Chains A and B, each alone.
Chain A
Amino acid sequence: MADDATRKAVSEIPLLKTNSGPRDKELWVQRLREEYLAPIKYVENNKAADNDWFRLESNKEGTRWFGKCWYIHDLLKYEFDIEFDIPVTYPTTAPEVAIPELDGKTAKMYRGGKICLTDHFKPLWARNVPKFGLAHLMALGLGPWLAVEIPDLISKGLITHREQQGS
């Protein structure tokens, strides 16, 4: 089970302090700074643990995020583009992460390729407002989703390895 690793990884992600959403002008800038710091630390930790698996960047306002995530299966690396908008009610509600290229390939997705999170993600997020940020969303939302869905999609032949990606 992936939980020991996930638990350790999440415990090492810095918690956020500013309770502010994209509609708050100055406070949002402060939150945005934290939103960048936390994933930077998380990515550093991942690299140190030889488990570097995503990159994120945003537009100038920090309202739209995009990046890549990758998943290693049988020594092959599968890479996907990810994207999401920061909802106006953030951080009370978590963003809905989308992997557009997988839209229609799995039932564990809503329209537009938005991943379908577990029943437990929302309570977990709600209990940790405003301390959880985008790094936590990656670790507790996208990471576990990929770990279950990607091997399944590969086994069904719905995604195939692209040779040029290297492993």
Chain B
Amino acid sequence: MTSIEELKLRVRELENELIKCKQKRCTAMCAEQPADNNQPHQRTRIEKMSAEVVDSNPYSRLMALKRMGIVEDYEKIRTFTVAVVGVGGVGSVTAEMLTRCGIGKLLLFDYDKVELANMNRLFFQPHQAGLSKVEAAEHTLRSINPDVQFEIHNYNITTMSNFAHFMDRISHGALEEGKAVDLVLCCVDNFEARMAINAACNELGQIWMESGVSENAVSGHIQLIIPGETACFACAPPLVVAANIDEKTLKREGVCAASLPTTMGVVAGILVQNVLKYLLKFGTVSHYLGYNAMQDFFPTMAMKANPTCDDPHCKKQQENYKPKDVAKTPEELPAVHEDNDWGIELVSEQTDDELKAASGPVPDLPEGITVAYTIPGGNGASGETVEETEQSLEECVIIIVTQSCHLRLRCIVPCLRVLK
């Protein structure tokens, strides 16, 4: 027989279970709706940044930078607008840092969705899988700091229609609508998008910072690009931080790219540090800062714009640019140097002649930085074009073979010479 005591015990058990369920549901709801201001953990907007040192002031430690004399006017951060293009491993952390610093407005651009495969990186959480990255990021960031204004765009900037819109938002999307953003940050993971940002910023004269992490996840870099003044992304072949890894031992079977939250976090950190120094005018703003994770080496340099850059808008900006204070600029390197003592690191198993023929001028770069590839002066293939069909040709094909080629095929540089 069931005693009254046993039944009472059972009632208490059920009551406990009910409380647990309620708590679980509440946390699930909190996670789903971080922007809901009724939640107890949500703070209200703060009109003016205060330096008062109290537990409830989210800006007290930042405003202390002013008291310590590091930054002259920290509140100025609220007047700035920054566009972050690419909200992945680097971009999401970059956006979070700027949000926590109390930036005025953030524009976020990305066409991708959050995936569980992104969970080795920081910022996004498993329950956000399937959401667009910009949407998920806005949710989280707004709950961290409701003082920041957000504008999100879920599209690929490299296509025709989106690019026009992207240019329009860069040039008009600041806090004060109609004005250009203060800085564009490139946190994308591909060459096409970098070149698109470069094209837009050269055309608009927009100052921007490029960032990147290598596909092997053990090196990265940041670069400040002032159109017409410092080298643009098209002024030289892509720069890479040499990680001193033997290409022959680098395996690429079955993968496109690797990633580490550490390298991405470091790169986001040095990027935002440079942004803060640039916007709030403290310390030295780096023109190029590399990160070699294998040797813990941080090469730096500055590079002038290349007068023979392929981007016509870069050349136009160079004409407009008049060096204001020559003495102030750090030692700058000419963009292109004719001597080639670098060679192509990617290439192996080829003769010296082949290497020479396949190598072009390389920038004069400090130790630890090199180019991804070079472009020979002759500029590649020559021969039959779409309209010339009657000439006979002599084939002169240079074969570049590398052992790290994951498609196990010989890559070729067709170099056809027209015979008389």
By a CB distance below 8 angstroms, the chain A residues around B389 are 14
Return the CB mask of A6-50 against B: 1 if under 8 Å, else 0.
110011001111000011000000000010011001000000000
Would you call B375 and A10 a contact (CB within 8 A)? no
B341 at the interface (CB under 8 A from A): no
B416 at the interface (CB under 8 A from A): yes
Would you call B195 and A92 a contact (CB within 8 A)? yes
Would you call B386 and A89 a contact (CB within 8 A)? no
Contact flag A126-B375 (CB < 8 Å), given A6-B409, A7-B414, A17-B385: yes
Contact flag A144-B409 (CB < 8 Å), given A88-B159, A89-B195, A126-B373: yes
What 20 additional pairs, Cβ within 8 angstroms, besides A124-B412, A126-B373?
Answer: A3-B399, A3-B410, A7-B399, A16-B385, A17-B386, A88-B159, A93-B192, A107-B254, A107-B256, A108-B256, A118-B405, A119-B346, A119-B402, A120-B411, A123-B344, A127-B375, A131-B380, A131-B381, A131-B382, A140-B412
By a CB distance below 8 angstroms, the chain A residues around B379 are 127-129, 131
Q: Point out residues on B near A: beta carbons under 8 Å.
A: 112-113, 115, 156, 158-160, 163, 190-192, 195-196, 198-199, 234, 237, 252, 254-256, 310, 344, 346, 360, 372-376, 379-387, 389, 393, 395, 397, 399-400, 402, 404-414, 416
Q: Which interface residue of A11, A122, A147, A148 has the most chain B CB atoms within 10 A?
A: A11
Contact flag A93-B404 (CB < 8 Å), given A6-B412, A87-B159, A127-B375: no
Would you call B407 and A110 a contact (CB within 8 A)? no
By a CB distance below 8 angstroms, the chain B residues around A121 are 411
**Assembly CA distance A10 to B409 (angstroms):** 15
Contact flag A15-B346 (CB < 8 Å), given A10-B414, A22-B160, A89-B195: no
Return the CB mask of A116-152 against B: 1 if under 8 Å, else 0.
1011111110111101100000001000110110000
Closest B residue to A152 using CB positions: B254
**Assembly CA distance A148 to B252 (angstroms):** 14
Contact flag A118-B411 (CB < 8 Å), given A14-B384, A38-B386: yes
Would you call A1 and B409 a contact (CB within 8 A)? yes
Q: Which interface residue of B115, B389, B409 has the most chain A CB atoms within 10 A?
A: B409
By a CB distance below 8 angstroms, the chain B residues around A6 are 409, 412
Q: Which interface residue of A86, A93, A108, A110 has the most chain B CB atoms within 10 A?
A: A93
What distance in Å separates the Cβ of B163 from its nearest Cβ neighbour in chain A? 4
A63 at the interface (CB under 8 A from B): yes
Would you call A127 and B376 a contact (CB within 8 A)? yes
Would you call A148 and B255 a contact (CB within 8 A)? no
**Assembly CA distance A88 to B411 (angstroms):** 26
Closest A residue to B344 using CB positions: A123
What distance in Å separates the Cβ of A38 from its nearest Cβ neighbour in chain B? 6
What distance in Å separates the Cβ of B396 from its nearest Cβ neighbour in chain A? 10
Sample of 21 A–B contacts (CB below 8 Å) = A1-B410, A3-B410, A6-B412, A7-B412, A7-B414, A14-B384, A14-B386, A17-B387, A61-B160, A63-B160, A85-B158, A89-B192, A94-B192, A96-B192, A108-B406, A118-B411, A119-B404, A123-B237, A123-B346, A123-B372, A145-B407
By a CB distance below 8 angstroms, the chain B residues around A17 are 385-387
A109 at the interface (CB under 8 A from B): yes
